[in-house]
Structure formats: structure tokens, C-alpha cells
Structure 1
Amino acid sequence: MKRAIIDSRPYVLLSLLFGISYFFVFILGEPELPDPYKMLWKGAGVGFLAIYALHRLHGFEGRLIATVMAFGALGDMLIELDMILGASAFLIGHCFAIALYLRHRRSETSFSQKLFAILLVPVTVFVAWSLPFDRADALGFAIYTLFLAVMAATAWTSEFPRYRVGIGALLFVISDLFIFSRTGFLRDSIIPDWTVWPLYYVGQFLIATGVVRALRDKLHVANP
């Protein structure tokens, strides 16, 4: 057990190092570094979570959650070049995440939890649609957010721990809504600058570590 923790720790620590430092170096500090360095630094935070998942969880599920994180890292980098390219990478990652969560649906879900998951999708899509001042952006925001919200809803109703994976998915949703708010009522505010990356990275971290730990515990119970 200790050996496994030691083996996986470098990838988690590297993820935390790049994920946390990106906020202070590039968002608060705004250093004079070439864009490729910024892109690689930004992608490394979630990229190392993909490596962590592959290292700690073998088989199809390990590759699936690693793919989710890999497309997240790709989206982090591509969005620096083009918003649509970045959103496309994230959307593909959401599709893989939805597939993972549907493979691990919770056997019993309370009425309130089901209601929350059901309402989450239309409410989130409506909020995203209503945010931009330029209404030409509204449909695109709504379409992307549909996949994002379904990802969060399926995470919430999956067998993975809600206080890690479920909360992580919700933080991802809130982070993206703050991004969209930059085209609307928070256009001239510093709030998105201070909230988007921390909410997003913490959300991805909770999702990756929560899924990996839950599936490893499940495999341990099945194969003691």
C-alpha cells in the first residue's frame, strides 16, 4: 500500500505544482514568457492527472478517466489559441466522462438527488444561454453547456463519491459559467480572473482522484 502511494505521489505533486503555480504565475503575475510556455504550463496541471490515472488504475476504466483528463489538458492548451478549438476538446472529454459515469450508475438514488440532477441540465443551459450580451454567442454557449451539464448530472448520480466527483463536476460547471460571464455582466470584472482557474483545476483534481480511488477500492474488494 505504501509503495503504491509513493509511486503515484510524483504525478499528483507535479499536477498540484503546475496547477497551483499557473494561477499565481500567469493569472496574477502575467510574466513575459512566450505563449508556448504558457500553454504547456497550463496543460501540465490536468495532464499529470491523466498520467496519474493511467498509472494507478489499469484496464478500460483507467484509460477512460485518463482520456477525460487528457482532453481536458488539451482543451486548456487549445483555448489559448482559439475558444472553439478549446471548447471542442472539452466537449469530447465530457462525452467520455458521461460514458464513464453511465457505466457506474448508482443503484439507488434518492428523489432529491434525482431531481437535482434533472433540473441541473436545463437550468445550467438556460443560464449559459442568457449570459452573453452578444446574442449571436448564446446558441453556441447553450450547446456546449448541454454536454457539460449532462456530464455533471451523470457524475452526481453515479456511484462515485458525490463529495469528490460530484462536487468536482459542479465546480467545473461553475467555472465555465464564469468564463461565459466575461461576455456579459462580468465583462469588466476581475471576478472571473480570480475564480475560473481555481474552480476548474480543483474540480478536475477532485474528479480524477475521486474516480481512481473509488475504482481501486472497488477492485480491492472484488479481489482482496
Structure 2
Amino acid sequence: MGWKDAAARAALIAAFVGGASYMAAWPLHLDHPVMTAWKGSGVALLAVYAALRARSLDGWLIALVMALGAAGDVLLEVIGLTRGALAFLAGHLVAIGLYVKNRRPGLGPTDWLVAAALVVATVATAWALPADRAMAPGIALYATGLSCMAASAWLSRFPRGWVALGAVMFLVSDLLIFARSGPLAGQAWVGIGVWTLYFGGQAMIALGVTRALSEPRPA
């Protein structure tokens, strides 16, 4: 095992420690900068892991996706929802490019139907969720990028049980955030669901893509 492989494994372990322990820190009421750094650490370390595993442009693209996700985690806490969402949206656009570049061969009508249904259902649900209807257009716009990312993951060659499922977990996490400003306002479990689905989804995406890229691509 070379030093890069050892460093990548250490970064991955540290990412899981950072991501899993973040919820455990909630009752501690630590200073805001500490909690913000803790929140960003998990996905930032997934970006480090992906960068250390990168052997091609695609490897660097998934590292960039994770880095933009970590930036979104931090920006949400530091300067608010809109700019944090823009960082996530940028990550979705990079991910779409990666997944389209790695489209699954032999896609059939059912595959495309699932992808289209995912986009339509997500955007419609996101539009309907916020109690403040002035937020609905912006949320629907973001949900369009989010759902296209998940649909592109479904249509990609990457293992669906890891990457497409992880993307859908990310999608559901964001829908829970939107629901927290509407029908799920005040529900204590939502925060746990949001973070578990989000970090778990990001980890599954990072692992699924990097492992697939390490294998020879079928002709």
C-alpha cells in the first residue's frame, strides 16, 4: 500500500468519525465556529479522500463535488441559506456533468421513465412544501438541479446501490429541510433525519464513484 492509499484510508475513517459524531455534539452547545467546523469536517474529509484516490479527471470531479458540498455545509451556517444553497447547486451541476460523462450503456425506456419521474416528483413536492409561498419558486429551482443530479446518477454507469441510492438519500434530506418550514415544522426528529440521510448519501456517492473509477471501464 502506497502513502496515498494509506492517507486516503485515514481520511475516509476521519470523515466517518467527523460526520457521525456531529449529531452527538448537538447537546453540548459548543461555540458556533466550533460546530460549523465540525459540521463541515465530514464531507470535507470525503473530498480529501476522493482527491487522494483521483487518477483521472473524473476522480477530481467527484472530489470537487464533495468540496462544494462541504462549502455548502459551512456557508449555510455562516452566511445563510441562499449562498449555502448556491454552493450545493454548483456541486449538483458538477455531479451532473460527471454522471452524464459516465452514462450507463444500454439504457432502456424504463430507466429514462424512472429518471423523469424522479425529477417531476421532486420539483412538485419541493414547490408544495414551504408554508411561506414566496419561497416556493427558489426552492423549486434548487430542487430542479438536485433532482437532475439524482436522475443523472441513476442513468450513470456507477453502481446504483451506492451512487444513485446515495443521491436519492441526499434528495430526501433536502426535502425534509424544505418540509421543516412547512408541514414538519417543530418536529424534533427531522434534524436527525436530515443529517443522517445527507452525510450517509454523500459518503455512499464518494465511495461508489471512487471505487468504480478504480476499476477498468468496460469497453
TM interval, shorter chain, is over 0.9
SS, match of residue 55 in structure 2? coil
Query: Which segments of structure 1 move beyond 4 Å, counting only runs of 4 or more?
Result: 1-5
Partner SS for 1:80: helix
Name 1:21's counterpart in structure 2: 21
Q: Name the residue aligned to 2:70.
A: 73
Q: Choose which of 48, 56, 64 in structure 2 pairs with 1:59.
A: 56
The corresponding residue for 1:199 is 197
1:28-67 matched pairs, under 5 angstroms = 29=27, 31-67=28-64
| Cα distance in 2 for residues equivalent to 1:80 and 1:105 | 35
Partner amino acid for 1:187? A
Q: CA deviation at 1:24?
A: 1.5
Separation (CA, whole Å) in 2 of partners of 1:176 and 1:46: 16
Deviation of the 1:8 alpha carbon:
2.2
Name the Cα RMSD after superposition. Answer: 1.6
Q: Please list, as runs of the form range in 1=range in 2, the aligned pairs for 1:121-200 lying within 5 A after superposition.
A: 121-200=119-198
Post-superposition Cα deviations, 1:126-173, rounded to whole Å, max 9, x if no partner, equal 000000111001001100000000000000010000000000000000
Give the aligned length: 218
| Displacement after TM superposition at 1:58 (Å) | 2.1
Alignment check: 8 A CA contact 2:131 2:181 kept: yes
Question: Using the alignment, how far apart are the partners of 1:3 and 1:83 within structure 2?
Answer: 39
2:30 is aligned with what amino acid? L
SS at match of 2:148: helix
Deviation, structure 1 residue 218: 2.3
- Secondary structure in 2 aligned to 1:218? coil
8 A contact 2:8–2:48 mirrored in 1: no
The alpha-carbon deviation at position 108 of structure 1 amounts to 1.2
2-side partners of 1:55 and 1:185: how far apart?
Answer: 42
Superposition deviation, residue 69 in structure 1: 0.2
Report the Cα distance in structure 2 between the residues aligned to 1:195 and 1:134, rounded to whole angstroms: 22
User: Relative to 1, partners in 2 of residues 1:36 and 1:3: Cα closer, same or farther, differing over 3 Å?
Assistant: closer
Whole-Å Cα distance in 2 between the matches of residues 70 and 112 of structure 1? 33
Q: How does 1:115-126 map to 2 (within 5 A)?
A: 115-126=113-124
Aligned counterpart, 1:211: 209
Extract unaligned runs of 5+ from structure 2.
Answer: none
How far apart, CA to CA, are the structure 2 residues paired with 1:118 and 1:162?
A: 16
1:74-114: per-residue Cα shift (whole Å, max 9, x none)? 00011113011110100000010000001000011233222
